[in-house]
Amino acid sequence: MADQALSSLKLLECGGGVSAPCCAKLFADLGAEVIKIEEPGTGDFTRTEGPFPGDVPDPEKSGLFLYLNGNKLGITLNLRSARGRSILQALAQKADILVENLAPREAEELGLTYAALEPINPALIVASITPYGFTGPYRDYKGYPLNAFHASGTGFRVGQPEREPLTMPCAQSSYAGGISAAAAIMTAVFARGVNGGLGQQVDVSEMEAEVCFFGSTITGFLAASDEMAVRPRMGHRLSALNASMRCKDGYVHLIATSADWWQRLGQVMGGPDWSQDPFFQDPANREKLADELEALLEPWLMERTREELFQLGVANRIPITPYYTTEEVARLPHLKEREFFVDIEHPAAGMLRYPGAPYKLSETPWAMVRPAPLLGQHNEEIYCGRLGYTREQLASLRTLGII
Amino acid sequence: MRLDQQQYPLAGIRVVDFGWVWAVPFMTQLLGDMGAEIIKVESHARLDSTRTQKPAPGRPAHPDWSTRFHAYHRNKKSITLNMATPRAIELVKRLIRVSDVVTDNFTPHVLENWGIDYAAISKIKPDIIMASLSSAGQWGPLRNLTTFAPALGAISGLETMVGYYGERPLGSTLAYMDPVAGTYGAFAVLAALSYRERTGRGQFIDMSQMEACITLIGEAMMDYAMNGRVWGAQGNRQRGMAPHNLYRCKGDDQWISIAVKSEEEWRSLCSAMGNPQWTQDPTFADQLSRWEHQDALDQHINRWTQGYGSYELMDMLQRAGVAAMPSLTTAQEVQDPHLLARGTWVQVDHPTLAGEIVYGNHWKFSRNPGGIYRHAPLLGEHNQYVLGDLLGISTDEIKALEEERVLY
Task: Work out the widest C-alpha separation in chain A, in whole angstroms.
Answer: 84
Mean pLDDT of A59-85: 97
pLDDT tens-digit series, residues B129-155: 999 999 999 999 999 998 888 899 999
Mean pLDDT of A185-201: 97
- The DSSP H or E segment spanning B79 is strand B77-80
Give the one of B226, B341, B356 whose C-beta lies nearest to A135's C-beta: B341
* Nearest partner of B15 among B79, B65, B63, judged by Cα: B79
Cα angle for residues B305, B306, B311 (degrees, 5° grid): 65
| B224 with A330: Cβ contact below 8 A | yes
- In A145-164, the residues whose Cβ lies within 8 Å of chain B are 145-160, 163-164
| A369 Cβ contact partners less than 8 Å away, ≥ 6 residues apart | A1, A71
| A358 with B184: Cβ contact below 8 A | yes
The answer to whether residue B354 neighbours chain A at the CB level (below 8 Å) is no
* Nearest partner of A113 among A131, A134, A94, judged by Cα: A134
The reported pLDDT for the residue numbered A257 is: 84
**Rounded to a whole number, what is the distance in Å from the CA of A16 to chain B's nearest CA?**
15
Cα angle for residues B191, A356, B122 (degrees, 5° grid): 40
Mean pLDDT of chain A: 93
Residues of A in contact with B147 (CB under 8 A): 255, 313, 319, 321
CATH for B14-215+342-403 is 3.40.50.10540
B65 within 8 A of B17, measured Cβ to Cβ: no
Q: Which CATH architecture does the domain made up of A10-213+338-399 adopt?
A: 3-Layer(aba) Sandwich (3.40)
**Rounded to a whole number, what is the distance in Å from the CA of A367 to chain B's nearest CA?**
14
| A250 Cβ contact partners less than 8 Å away, ≥ 6 residues apart | A305, A306, A322, A323
B368 within 8 A of A185, measured Cβ to Cβ: no
User: Domain extents for chain A?
Assistant: 10-213+338-399, 237-324
pLDDT tens-digit series, residues A133-188: 999 999 999 999 999 999 999 999 899 888 999 999 999 999 999 999 999 999 99
Give the one of B219, B236, B265 whose C-beta lies nearest to A146's C-beta: B236
Q: Which of A190, A205, A233, A340 to mutate to test the interface with B (most CBs of B within 10 A)?
A: A190
The answer to whether residue A339 neighbours chain B at the CB level (below 8 Å) is no
Spatial separation of the C-alpha atoms in residues A77 and A92, rounded to whole Å: 13
Spatial separation of the C-alpha atoms in residues A115 and A195, rounded to whole Å: 16
Residues of B in contact with A155 (CB under 8 A): 246, 257, 327
- In A41-80, the residues whose Cβ lies within 8 Å of chain B are 49-55, 63-64, 66-68
Residues of A in contact with B321 (CB under 8 A): 142
* Nearest partner of A126 among A101, A93, A98, A107, judged by Cα: A98
| pLDDT higher than threshold 90 for residue A361 | yes
The reported pLDDT for the residue numbered B294 is: 97
HEC string of A356-378? CCCCEECCCCCCCCCCCCCCCCC
Closest residue in A to B211 (Cα) is A358
Cα angle for residues A137, A140, A146 (degrees, 5° grid): 95
pLDDT tens-digit series, residues A202-241: 999 999 999 999 888 777 666 555 554 445 576 445 557 8
- β-bridge partners, B130: B102, B204
The reported pLDDT for the residue numbered B388 is: 98
Distance separating the N- and C-terminal Cα atoms of chain A: 29
B179 within 8 A of B198, measured Cβ to Cβ: no
| A258 with B221: Cβ contact below 8 A | no
User: Which segments of A160-314 are extended strands (E)?
Assistant: 201-205, 242-247, 250-255
| Residue B397, phi then psi, degrees to nearest 5 | -65, -40
Residues of A in contact with B149 (CB under 8 A): none
Residues of B in contact with A359 (CB under 8 A): 131, 184-185, 188, 205-208, 211-212
**Rounded to a whole number, what is the distance in Å from the CA of B150 to chain A's nearest CA?**
7
Spatial separation of the C-alpha atoms in residues A101 and A126, rounded to whole Å: 11
User: Domain extents for chain B?
Assistant: 14-215+342-403, 244-331
Spatial separation of the C-alpha atoms in residues A147 and A18, rounded to whole Å: 15
Strands B363-365 and A201-205: antiparallel
Residues of B in contact with A361 (CB under 8 A): 188, 191-192, 203-205
A79 within 8 A of A16, measured Cβ to Cβ: no
**Rounded to a whole number, what is the distance in Å from the CA of A366 to chain B's nearest CA?**
10
| B71 with A254: Cβ contact below 8 A | no
What ranges in A3-160 are assigned the alpha helix state H?
A: 19-29, 63-68, 82-93, 104-109, 114-117, 145-151
- In B283-312, the residues whose Cβ lies within 8 Å of chain A are none
Q: Give catalytic residues of B, as residue numbers.
A: 178
* Nearest partner of B59 among B70, B48, B44, judged by Cα: B70
The reported pLDDT for the residue numbered A222 is: 66
Higher pLDDT, B49 or A375: A375
Strands B129-134 and B101-104: parallel
| A144 with B327: Cβ contact below 8 A | no
| B362 with A51: Cβ contact below 8 A | no
pLDDT tens-digit series, residues A11-52: 999 999 999 999 999 999 999 999 999 999 999 999 999 999
Closest residue in A to B222 (Cα) is A63
Spatial separation of the C-alpha atoms in residues B223 and A54, rounded to whole Å: 10
pLDDT tens sequence for chain B (408 residues)? 689 989 999 999 999 999 999 999 999 999 999 999 999 999 999 999 999 887 877 788 899 999 889 999 999 999 999 999 999 999 999 999 999 999 999 999 999 999 999 999 999 999 999 999 999 999 999 999 988 888 999 999 999 999 999 999 999 988 899 999 999 999 999 999 999 999 999 999 999 999 999 999 999 999 999 999 999 999 999 998 999 999 999 999 999 999 999 999 999 999 999 999 999 999 999 999 999 999 999 999 999 999 999 999 999 999 999 999 999 998 899 899 999 999 999 999 999 888 888 999 999 999 999 999 999 999 999 999 999 999 999 999 999 999 999 999
Residues of A in contact with B3 (CB under 8 A): none
DSSP B311-361: HHHHHHHHHTT-EEEE---HHHHTT-HHHHHTT-EEEEEETTEEEEEEE--
The CA distances from residue B80 to A366, B41, B43, B380, B383, in Å, are 36, 6, 5, 5, 7
Please give the interface size between A and B, counted as residue pairs whose CB atoms are below 8 Å apart: 512
* Nearest partner of B18 among B62, B76, B74, B87, judged by Cα: B76
Handedness of CA B386, B388, B393, B395 (dihedral sign): positive
- β-bridge partners, B39: B16, B77
Closest residue in B to A229 (Cα) is B330
Which CATH class, in words, describes the domain spanning B244-331? alpha beta
Spatial separation of the C-alpha atoms in residues A166 and A148, rounded to whole Å: 13
| B162 with A168: Cβ contact below 8 A | yes
* Nearest partner of B377 among B80, B95, B133, judged by Cα: B80
Give the one of B142, B321, B368 whose C-beta lies nearest to A334's C-beta: B142
The answer to whether residue B395 neighbours chain A at the CB level (below 8 Å) is no
* Nearest partner of A197 among A122, A127, A139, A291, judged by Cα: A122
Which CATH class, in words, describes the domain spanning A237-324? alpha beta
Q: Return the amino acid letter for B372.
A: I
The reported pLDDT for the residue numbered A186 is: 98
